[in-house]
Amino acid sequence: ESKRAGSHGWRAYDASMTDRRNRDALLAAELEHACASGELSVLYQPIVDLTTGDAVAVETLLRWHSPALGAVPPTEFIPVAERSGAIHEIGRWILGQACRQVRRWADASGGQIVYVTVNVSPRQLEDPTFIDDVMAIVEGSGLPPDKLVLEITETAIVDQRTAIPVLTTLRKRGVRIAIDDFGTGYSALHYLTRLPVDVLKIDRTFVGQLNGTRQGAAVTEAIIRLGQILGLTIVAEGIETSAQATELQALGCALGQGYLFSRPADAADLDAMITSAPRRESPARA
């Protein structure tokens, strides 16, 4: 495309690169004080039992409203925070928020505890104090460590030399591990059996392909079978229609999340749904 556009195309490309760099620099500068200034907030999305519709867990999702830039989506600012190093402080902050909120839900429902998932970026795993920080935050919140699930993408686990030992140690201390967006990264398939994981999350692209045909269900079904063989908990992401939920159940998937059940929402908006549901066990240990 740039070849055909000639020098004009190159100029346009260059301008957009400069815009991107300026925007990233601005985001990085604003992010530096975002945490301390109270500009970050947390939403929770229920993970439900597909049979009953009851919430068994929540995924924690970060939001940033910058006074200067407005609402910035996590897909835009997380990569910037990873490069600037702000991800470490932000990561500790959201983990504390999540653990304390789930502890409050447990108290409000007479001790029944939903488990909570928190997304973790590969940069956080490189921090030499990460394991101690996580354990201190969990223990400080009073949440049993096995009610915390850390979500890591497949690519991050494969790429990071330190990822496997860090996750193995956390798992020994009781924390559980999920592979997020499973099937979309570099394939971790050849050593999945040796990874320290408890949960596989089927990426929403595969859920979106479900259309009642064997072809449409191929990847989802393969992931579910793989999970069953390895004794892992399977969670389907991005369920938007009841047809998808029904098909997932027929394929043997017990848990899912998506707009069909609830959009990510404020803790207060989820109080009734979370504290009234009968609880199930935390994800099975492989």
Is 31 a binder of ligand C2E (CB under 6 A)? Answer: no
Among 46, 183, 256, 264, binds ligand C2E (CB under 6 A): 264
Look up residue 181 and give its two tokens: 């967006």
CB of 200 closer than 8 Å to CB of 223: yes
Site string for ligand C2E, 65-94 (x = CB under 6 A): --------xxx--x---------------x
| Binding piece for Mg ion, criterion CB under 5 A, among 42-50, 114-122, 190-198, 241-249 | 114-122
What DSSP designation does 121 have? -
User: Could you say whether residue 266 binds ligand C2E (CB under 6 A)?
Assistant: no
C-beta of 131 vs 239, nearer to ligand C2E: 239
CB of 192 to ligand C2E, least distance (A): 19
User: Which residue in 61, 80, 166, 219 binds ligand C2E (CB under 6 A)?
Assistant: 61
Q: What is the maximum span of the chain, computed from C-alpha positions, in angstroms?
A: 68
* Helix, strand or coil, per DSSP, at residue 236: strand
Under the criterion CB under 6 A, does residue 127 sit at the interface with ligand C2E? no
What's the alpha-carbon Rg for the chain, to the nearest Å? 20
Q: 154 or 180, CB closer to Mg ion?
A: 180
Phi then psi for 270, rounded to 5 degrees?
-100, -5
User: For residues 31 and 80, what is the distance between their CA atoms, to the nearest angstrom?
Assistant: 9
Which residues, numbered 204-263, are part of the site for ligand C2E (CB under 6 A)?
204, 237-240, 257-259
Q: Pick the binder of ligand C2E from 35, 50, 62, 202 (CB under 6 A).
A: 62
Give the shortest CB-237-to-Mg ion separation in angstroms.
5
CB atoms < 10 A from the CB of 42, how many?
Answer: 17
DSSP for 81-118, please give it.
Answer: HHHHSTHHHHHHHHHHHHHHHHHHHHHHTTT---EEEE
73-80: list long-range contacts, CB under 8 Å, 24+ apart.
Answer: 76/27, 77/27, 77/31, 78/121, 80/24, 80/27, 80/28, 80/31
Note the residues at the interface with Mg ion (CB under 5 A).
Answer: 119, 151, 180-181, 237
Note the residues at the interface with ligand C2E (CB under 6 A).
Answer: 45, 61-62, 73-75, 78, 94, 119-121, 151, 180-181, 204, 237-240, 257-259, 264
